[in-house]
Amino acid sequence: VAKHFLARAHADTLGAYLAIDDDVTLAQAREADARIANGDAAPLLGVPVAHKDIFVTKDFPSTAGSKMLAGYRSPFDATVVDKLAQAGMVSLGKLNCDEFAMGSSNENSAFGAVKNPWDTTRIPGGSSGGSAVAVAARLAPAATGTDTGGSIRQPASFCGITGIKPTYGRASRYGMIAFASSLDQAGPMARSAEDCALLLSAMCGPDPDRDSTSLDRPAEDFSRSLTTSIEGLRIGVPKEFFGAGLAADVRAAIDAALQQYVQLGARLVEISLPRTELSIPVYYIIAPAEASSNLSRFDGVKFGHRAQQYGDLVDMYKKTRAEGFGDEVKRRIMIGTYVLSHGYYDAYYLQAQKIRRMIADDFQQAFRQCDVIAGPAAPTTAWKLGARSDDPVANYLADIFTLPGSLAGLPGLCHPCGFGEGGLPVGLQLLGNYFDEARLLNAAHRFQ
Ligand code: GLN
């Protein structure tokens, strides 16, 4: 199986893979074979997986899609990578992503854009674009992704695969190159909810010594209720997710999917998430603020790129960062330092934190009326490569449906639900209350 997928990975013409190493993969595959020969029947044993290049790995370079880390090798594996290896998964290599996971189209990668396999003139979504494409194009049976503001759910939607971001704190952030630490979460991207459930079960669990925000909840078997009936499930449909900005073809696919859920016994309940629009300014203050702090470690001293020519130490910092970071990363660092600076902190950052809490409260209000929330993951299907690459605000606005759940720290899943114009995939987003991943996976599995 590993050889089959290595051959597929080597033949990748979509730009999904950033690093492949046959020797590493085949050595892991032989270890899995040995475990199988010893009677080990762990469900993921011997199954290949490829990792978003935001997870550090000791056996492959780790770049976060940035020139700043070109060729960088970590001395250790991220906890999530390690846990999947312990479950017996065989690593196929590293997958392209937007630089430091900042983006919605994968065009912000320093190593080139990734193409959507459904239409190679289109973006795959982002920031976990390489992960979504690897799974959709069968270059890997499963992949890891990370979701700070939608980066698992939106590319899953654009590439016609399934992905889930768990409750914030379920998966350890140790070894995940940090973007916005209060939002970053790892999750699986795979062909079905069933596959995602197996992966998520292996990825989650407390990591108190290495991630202070990792939750003290034991690992769970998220496959336990996959086949349970969803008769009587109350699906909240937020009216704010169906406004004028939603493309007609996406709306039609979502409406049809909701009707399919009704056929399966679910009940639709109209709900309101009144601060949905505010999630954009709130997120684009908080995430850059945290990014500006997290990315200060890339100074040319500790790891990664260092400018060749410089005067004094400060000049070395400046030249290193000017050369190493791409435009979007620089933009976020500037926004972040601005909103955190004296005189603006109260007006921007503190206000954003307060509204973030109100957004989370709105969800708790909604979950009094429903068990899960359903809607689109993005307002449109995948757009053309280059169409929005010099319009950051257009990209930010398209994150409107994934940001609220991220700000609230809720689990969110996206599963394929139909096709829009031109045969492009449309995904349905399901949001659950804290720790309700198993319910989301159950609903998606029944749908599939
Ligand atoms: N598109 C969002 C951003 O650019 C979300 C990215 C993510 O979830 N990593 O920040």
Element (H, E) at 263: helix 248-263
Confidence of residue 219 (pLDDT cuts 50, 70, 90): confident
Torsion over CA of 302, 305, 311 and 313, rounded to 10 degrees?
-20
Closest ligand 1 atom to 104 CA? 1
Which tens digits make up the pLDDT trace of 269-311?
999 999 999 999 999 999 999 999 999 999 999 889 999 999 9
Backbone φ and ψ of 159, nearest 5°: -110, 5
Q: Give the number of residues written for the chain.
A: 448
Q: Give the model's pLDDT for residue 104.
A: 98
Q: Give the model's pLDDT for residue 163.
A: 99
End-to-end Cα, the chain, rounded Å: 25
Mutate to test the pocket of ligand 1, among 148, 168, 396 (most ligand atoms within 8 A of CB): 148
> What CATH number matches the domain at 1-448, 3.30.420.40, 3.90.1300.10, 3.40.190.10, 3.10.180.10?
3.90.1300.10
Which residue's C-alpha comes closest to atom 10 of ligand 1? 102
Which residue's C-alpha comes closest to atom 5 of ligand 1? 149
Which tens digits make up the pLDDT trace of 347-388?
999 999 999 999 999 999 999 999 999 999 999 999 999 999
- Contact criterion met (CB below 8 Å) for 45 and 64: no
Which tens digits make up the pLDDT trace of 393-444?
999 999 999 999 999 999 999 999 999 999 999 999 999 999 999 999 999 9
Active-site annotation holds for 151:
yes
Active-site annotation holds for 127:
yes
User: ipTM exceeding 0.95?
Assistant: yes
% of the chain surpassing 90 pLDDT: 98
Closest ligand 1 atom to 328 CA? 4
* Å from CA of 101 to ligand 1 middle: 6
CA 117 to chain centre: 18
Closest ligand 1 atom to 332 CA? 10
Judged against a pLDDT cut of 90, whether residue 142 lies above it is answered with yes
* Å from CA of 179 to ligand 1 middle: 9
Q: Give the model's pLDDT for residue 130.
A: 98
DSSP-assigned states of every residue in 230-255: -TT-EEEEEGGGGSTTS-HHHHHHHH
% of the chain surpassing 70 pLDDT: 100
> Amino acid identity of 42?
A
Q: Taking residues 184-197, report their average pLDDT.
A: 98
Closest ligand 1 atom to 180 CA? 9
Ligand 1: which residues within 6 Å by Cβ?
Answer: 101-104, 127, 147-151, 179, 287, 399
Which residue's C-alpha comes closest to atom 4 of ligand 1? 103
Average pLDDT, the chain: 97
Place of tokens 């689990």: 411
Q: Give the model's pLDDT for residue 303.
A: 86
Active-site annotation holds for 105:
no
* Å from CA of 262 to ligand 1 middle: 32
Q: Give the model's pLDDT for residue 302.
A: 87
b vs e for 271-289, b when ≥16 Cβ sit within 10 Å of the residue's Cβ? bebebbbbbbebbbbbbbb
Question: Angle between the 351-366 and 279-294 helix axes, to the nearest 10 degrees?
Answer: 130
Among residues 91, 109, 127, 389, the one annotated as catalytic is 127
pTM, two decimals, is 0.98
Among residues 74, 131, 151, 292, the one annotated as catalytic is 151
Which tens digits make up the pLDDT trace of 162-183?
999 999 999 999 999 999 999 9
Give the pairing of strands 267-271 and 234-238.
parallel
Judged against a pLDDT cut of 90, whether residue 33 lies above it is answered with yes
Residue 181: both structure tokens together: 């630490």
* Å from CA of 104 to ligand 1 middle: 6
Cα–Cα distance for residue pair 142/103, rounded to 1 Å: 22
